[in-house]
Amino acid sequence: MRVLKNEYGDWMVLELRKGAIFVDELRNVSIKIGEVAEEEEEWAPMGPTPFPQIETLRNWDFILLKRYKPFYAPYCDMCCLCTMGKCDLTENKRGACGINLEAQTGRIVAIAVAIGTACHTGHARHMLHDIEHVTGKKLEEIPVDLGPEIAEVAPLTQLITGIKPKTLADLERALRYVEEQITQVMDSIHTGQEGSYLDYESKAFHLGMMDALGKEIADIAQIVAFNLPKGESNQPLIDVGMGTLDRNKAIVLVIGHHAPPAFNIADYIEQNKLNDEVELAGICCTAHDVSRYWPKAKIAGSLGRQLKVVRSGLADVIVIDEQCIRADILYHAGKLGIPVICTNSKAMHGLPDMTRRDPKEVIKYLLDGNPGVVVLDPLKVGEIAVEVARARRKKRGEIKPVLSEEQFMNYAKACTQCGNCTIACPQKIRVGDLMEAAEKGDRKPLEEKWDVCITCGRCEQVCPKKIPIIDMFNFAAWNRILNEKGKVRRGRGPVRDSEIRNVGAPIVLGTIPGVIAIVGCSNYPNGTKDAYTIMNEFASRNYIVVTTGCMAMDAGLYKDEEGKTVYEKYKDDFNGGCVANLGSCVSNAHIHGAAIKVARIFAMRNIRANFEEIADYILNRVGACGVAWGAYSQKAASIATGVNRLGIPVVVGPHGSKYRRAFLGRPYNDEDWMVYDVRSGQKVRIEPAPQDLLVAAETVEEAIPLIAKLCFRPNDTDRGRSIKLTHYIDLSLKYLGRMPDDWHLYVRTESDLPLAKREELLKELEDKHGWKIDWSRKKILEGPIRPYHAGFNPTCVERLFKEGFSSLAKK
C-alpha cells in the first residue's frame, strides 16, 4: 500500500490488494475498508472498457445511430409522467420541463428497456439468493464450470466487465455492476435530465447490454447450481401442447420465469415416487427451465396460450413465480376454483404470506377453498403444490369443456354483432362473425381462430352481453386441445467452443448464409404456425437456427408431411441446417455469446473488456439476424436493444412497431455507409449491409426474405455473397412472387451472382440498372457500389482503424 499527499496536501490512500497496514503518526485520517478483491487472473490483456459506464460506449452507439437512424412512431404525443403535466408535445411544442416529442419518445423507449432489463437482472439476483438457500452453499463455493468443451464460460461477462468468472461470486460482482447501471440510467429518465433523443437511445443501448449481461448471469447460475445441460447436443425431446397433459393425473401448472420453485416440485414428485400420479407442466420460460432440470416436465404452451390453458380447467393447482403472468390470474383461476400459489415477491396478488407456516397447514388452507397463498420459500413449494393437486384430483372427475353445449349455444345466440370485440381485438378477429356461424351450427370458424387468438381477454371486457369468448373458443376447439401434441428439444444452454471452431470460418466468409436467432414472445399476427414456418425455412437452407423462449415451444407444435417437428427433422447442433433450442429467455445470452466467441475463437480477437471492437467485428462480419416475431413484453424490447448494440439486426412482427421506434438504414445515403478498410487504408462506401438494425414486417411472407437480406455483411466472400443472394432472391420469389428490387445493391462482382442465374442477372443489371458488362468474358465493368476484394478488412471505428485490432494470435 502507498500513502501519498496530493497537490492540496490531503492524504490519499491508494488501493491495497494484499498485505498489512501499519498506521503511524497520522492525524485526521479515516480508514475505510471496502471490498477486498482478489487480483483478477490475467486471462487476457485488459481491454479498453472494463465495467463501462453510461458514457463509455456512446461513441459506438452514435456510429450505429448515425447509420440506423431511429424512426419514431409515437403512440402518444402527450406526456403525463410528472405533475407539471400533462403536456402537449404536438407540433414541435415542448413540455413544461423543456422536453420535445423526439426526446420524450426516446425516453419512453428507455423506460421500456429499463423495465425489461430490471426483470432479467432481478431474476438473476433472485436466482443467486435461491441458489444459496436451496443448495446450502456460498456462491464462492460453486464453480462456473461448463465442461471441457467450453473454456469461454461467460462471453458477455468477459466482454463487458473483463471478469472471467471462476465461481458464482465472480458473477455476483458483475451483477452488482449491472444493478448500478440500471439505477444510473433510470436516474436519467427523471424530469429535467436528458434532452437528446440520441442520448436516450444510447442509454437504452447501455441498458440493453446490461440486459444481456443480467441474462447471462441468471442462466449460468442456474446451469451450474442446478446441473442443467451445459451445451450438449442431442437433448431429449420434451412434450409440448395442451393435449400432452395426462388428465388422469393431478396436474400442477407452473407459470413464469424463475424456476427454482418448479425444480422443488419436480424433486418432490421424484422423491415421493409420484410420477404415475402427478403431472408437472408449465407455461412460458419456467416450462423450458423445469424441463432442462427434469425432462419429464411438460410444456403446456407459450405465453399467448396462458388463458387458454388456465380457462380450460386442466390445472389442479397453479404455481406462479415472476414475469409474464396475467395480472388477473387469481380471477380466472378463482372462477374455476383452482388455487394459486405465488412463489415470488414480485407477484403476490394480495394473498396472505404463509411462507413461515407448516406446509400441512398451508395445504389445508388451500383445500378449504381459499383462492391462494404466498409461499416464498422454494423448498416448501413442492410439497404444498403437489399435495394440493393430488387432493383436488381425487375429488374432480373427467376434465370437460367449461361450457355445456346448451351454454355455448345460448351465448352464440346472445351475440348482437355489435362489433365491440373486433375493435378491441389486437388480432382484429371478427368475433361476431364467428358467433353467428356457431349459432347456425358451424363451429369451424371459431375453432380455426382459436390459434390466432392470443387470449388477451380484451373482447370480453367490452362485450355488452358478457359472452365468455375465450371459453367459446375453447369449447369449439376442444378436440384440437385434446390432440395438441408436439415435441420441443430440451433447452441445451450455451453454444460449445468446439462448435464455434467448426462454423466460425463459414459464418464469417458467408458460406453458412447466416445465423437466425428466433426468440421471444407469442404475439404472432397469424397464429403459432409462423414460428414453425420461419424455423423450417431457414434450417432447410443450411442457415444455423437457434431459438429460445415462447417461439421455441410454439414451433414444436407443428409437423411436416412425415409427422416430424423441426426438432425431429433437424439435428440439434450449432451448425448449418440444424435447429438448437438454447432454453428460456435468459438463455438468449448464449446467442450473444456465440457471436462473441466467433470473434474470440475464429478471429483470435481479445474479447476482454473490449465491447466496441467486438461489436464492430460482429456488425461487419457475423451474418446473424434476430427474429422476435411475436414480441410484446418490455423484456422483448430490452433483448432486441441489447442484440442491436452488439451489431446484430432484429426483425419483429407487426405488433413490434408498437415499441414506437425502428432503426432503419437509408441505402441511398452514401455517407451512412462509409467504413474504414484496414487493408487499403481508405474509406470505402459499402453496400447497405446489414440494411436495418430493428425493423418490423407485416407478414411472415414479408419477413422471411427480409431476414435473409439482413444476413449480408460487407466482409462476405464472393462465394458467400452468391449463396446469400441466391437465398434472398429465391425467398423473395417464393414468398412475395417477385424479384427483390434492391438485389443489385449487393453485387460487387460477377462471382457474387448465383451461378445458375448468372447470365440472366447480368442481363438485368445491364438492362434495368445500366451496368456495363463485358459479355465476351461475362464480367462486370461498371456499376457496383464497390469492387470486391478478398482482403477487405472493414471497421466502422476510426480508433480501430488507426490503432489496429487487438489480436491474441501468436505473431
Positions in the binding site for ligand SF4 (CB under 6 A): 79-82, 84-87, 95-97, 99, 191, 415-421, 424-427, 429, 431-432, 435, 453-459, 462-465, 467, 469-470
Residue of 594, 591, 635, 626 lying closest to 120 (CA atoms): 635
Q: Least distance in Å: CB of 76 to ligand SF4? A: 11
Closest CB to ligand SF4 among residues 81, 707: 81
DSSP 347: B
The rounded distance, in Å, linking the Cα atoms of 265 and 765 is 64
Q: Least distance in Å: CB of 477 to ligand SF4? A: 12
Backbone angles phi, psi at 134, to 5 degrees: -75, -40
Q: Least distance in Å: CB of 73 to ligand SF4? A: 19
Closest CB to ligand SF4 among residues 462, 739: 462
Closest CB to ligand SF4 among residues 464, 787: 464
Q: Least distance in Å: CB of 667 to ligand SF4? A: 35
For residues 713 and 622, is the Cβ–Cβ distance under 8 A? yes
Which helix or strand (DSSP H or E) is residue 260 part of? helix 260-271
Any residues with CB less than 8 A from the CB of 33 and at least 6 apart, and which?
none
Backbone angles phi, psi at 23, to 5 degrees: -110, 115
Closest CB to ligand SF4 among residues 187, 358: 187
Q: Least distance in Å: CB of 100 to ligand SF4? A: 9
Cis peptide before 690 (omega within 30 of 0): yes
How do strand 11-13 and strand 3-5 relate by DSSP bridges? antiparallel
Q: Least distance in Å: CB of 192 to ligand SF4? A: 8
Q: Least distance in Å: CB of 82 to ligand SF4? A: 3
Q: How many CB atoms lie within 10 A of CB 767?
A: 10
The rounded distance, in Å, linking the Cα atoms of 82 and 97 is 9
Closest CB to ligand SF4 among residues 471, 750: 471
The rounded distance, in Å, linking the Cα atoms of 139 and 274 is 32
Q: Least distance in Å: CB of 160 to ligand SF4? A: 31
Q: Least distance in Å: CB of 684 to ligand SF4? A: 43
Q: Least distance in Å: CB of 433 to ligand SF4? A: 9
For residues 680 and 87, is the Cβ–Cβ distance under 8 A? no
Type of residue at 558: Y
Which helix or strand (DSSP H or E) is residue 407 part of? helix 405-414
- Angle 604-202-639 (CA atoms, 0-180°, nearest 5)? 70
Closest CB to ligand SF4 among residues 88, 760: 88
Q: How many CB atoms lie within 10 A of CB 75?
A: 10
Query: CA 357 → CA 254, 360, 363, 374, 376, distances in Å?
Result: 22, 8, 10, 11, 11
Residue of 283, 372, 281 lying closest to 324 (CA atoms): 283
Closest CB to ligand SF4 among residues 44, 435: 435
Closest CB to ligand SF4 among residues 85, 667: 85
Cell 436519467 belongs to residue: 188
Closest CB to ligand SF4 among residues 468, 583: 468
Closest CB to ligand SF4 among residues 87, 512: 87
